[in-house]
Chains A and B, each alone.
Chain A
Amino acid sequence: MQIQKTNLYNYHKNLGAKFVSFAGYEMPIQYSEGIVKEHISTRTYAGFFDVSHMGQFYISGENIEDALEKIIPTDLKGLKENQSKYSFLLNDKGGVIDDLIITRREKGFCIILNAGCKENDIKQISKQLNDNHKFHLCTQTSLIALQGPKSAEILENYVKGVSSLKFMQGGTFDFINEKIYVTRSGYTGEDGFEIAVLNTQAELLLKKLIESKVKPIGLGARDTLRLEAGLCLYGHELNEEINPIEANLKWAIGKKRREEGGFNGWEKIKENLEKGSLKLRVGILPEGKIIAREGAKIFSTDDKEIGVVTSGTFGPSVNVPVAMGYVNSSYSEIGTKIKLEVRGKKHEAKVAVLPFYKKSYAR
């Protein structure tokens, strides 16, 4: 497969980005200041992220809600125009094909999909569709996330009205002489926006943000930010073998759909809801400085293997190592003492509250 680049590749290069290949794209892992400074800038001021590698999938047509509700367990009929929800595509066993953000637009829906999953996602969604449904993956617009406590104040200077958006709400706004679509959302645990801007205007937007002292942020800090915020990353906390109940994402399904079902894997999910699931996603705080990364085995205090770490790093804002992983449900209570195996040695840790870092969103 040929490695792809986003429209902003050269712009990143000029900003001093170091690149890695991620989900088939050559993406900035960090810029000259490095991951820790980028992370702190986002938490204390604001940072921008090029997330144009993600799929911007538009879908519409008669009774499109019925088709999508078979594969997405969100109450789409009850979703108002310009409202967004975090959800997933589910397989027959209730396993997660991808996690996503879905927004009701004037016509149909826009779904933001993970870069590495988007081709398969479209195949899976297509199975639910008929000839009356239309869809396309938009490549005319770049997707920029602006995250951090100063985001609203800064973006308001260039895009009038955005600061009045509530969390998980979107709208069309004017930028220079074109329209842009902005949602108040993100994946860092900070207030912020995701902005769909025409490729031809994307650099101009970034230049304005840089003028306002917003820093460019790479995938490295994106990972430490989302991990501190206790958010799942597909391929790590989520995959086709894990269902949303195990992933502790029951809240994302919504009461109506949980009770009425009618989506892929509902039987399995219902069973998990009624009887509890065998394993659960938890937050993990190691006792010392040791960093337990993906794949580290988790043991009980009496040395029974009880799970595995799915993500782990050092959290620059909480200033301690943090991790997430799956443990047998009987060990999932907050405060439970566990051990993590790192380089052949077992280290003390405990099950901890997620998120590790908490910030209030604009509501």
Chain B
Amino acid sequence: MSEKKFSKKHEWVAVEGDIATIGITKHATEMLGDIVFVEVPEKGKVVEQNGQAAVVESTKAASDVYSPISGEVIENNASIVDDPSSVNSDPEGVSWFFKIKIKNNSELDNLMSKTDYDKFVAENPN
């Protein structure tokens, strides 16, 4: 799997061939607090770059999760729907949200490296 890339809306993307795995960052979970509800996109759903794709709710509020790149959903992670708190414990590992078949590889160029993302977070803490 390639190195993760990151969006300004705090999602991560990991690419393997023409498949991308997408989730939310550790920083996102820290801002959200205790996650108590997750909604993931259905298999077959077509998501647009920066389009709303999933929902994550903490005790405080509901937030949309956007897809950093376009594609068709080929798999979603049912285990985070069953146990939303697992997103808090391992957001950048087992608690990925969904996988898509990448439509346009060049969209990946707009995303940040880990170093750039960490810098972005440090400059924009909220």
Contacts and interface: CB of A to CB of B under 8 A. Distances in A.
Contact of A35 (B57, B60, B62, B81): B60
B117 interface: no
Interface string A186-226: 00000000000000000000000000000000001101100
Chain B, interface size category, equals 10 to 19
Contacts of A291: 36-37, 57, 62
A289 interface: yes
A34 B89 CA distance: 13
A314 B33 contact: no
B2 interface: no
Contacts of A223: 59
A35 B37 contact: no
Given A291-B36, A314-B36, A321-B37, A35 B55 contact: no
Interface centre among A224, A289, A316 (most CB of B within 10 A): A289
The A contact surface, by secondary structure, is mixed
Interface in A335-349: 343
Contacts of B36: 36, 291, 313-314, 321
B55 A36 contact: no
Chain A, interface size category, equals 20 to 34
A324 interface: no
B34 interface: yes
A30 B33 contact: yes
Interface in A277-325: 289-291, 293, 313-314, 316, 321
Contact of B59 (A220, A289, A290, A343): A220
A29 interface: yes
Contact of B33 (A220, A289, A290, A321): A220
A313 B37 CA distance: 10
A34 B33 contact: yes
Contacts of A316: 34, 59
Interface in A22-73: 29-30, 34-37, 39
Given A34-B33, A35-B33, A321-B37, A293 B62 contact: yes
Nearest to B34: A36
Contacts of A221: 59
Contacts of B61: 293
Interface centre among A30, A36, A39, A223 (most CB of B within 10 A): A36
Given A34-B33, A291-B62, 7 more contacts: A35-B34, A36-B59, A36-B85, A37-B34, A291-B36, A313-B60, A343-B55
10 contacts: A34-B34, A35-B33, A36-B36, A36-B85, A289-B84, A291-B36, A313-B59, A314-B37, A314-B59, A343-B55
Interface of B: 33-34, 36-37, 55, 57-62, 81, 84-85
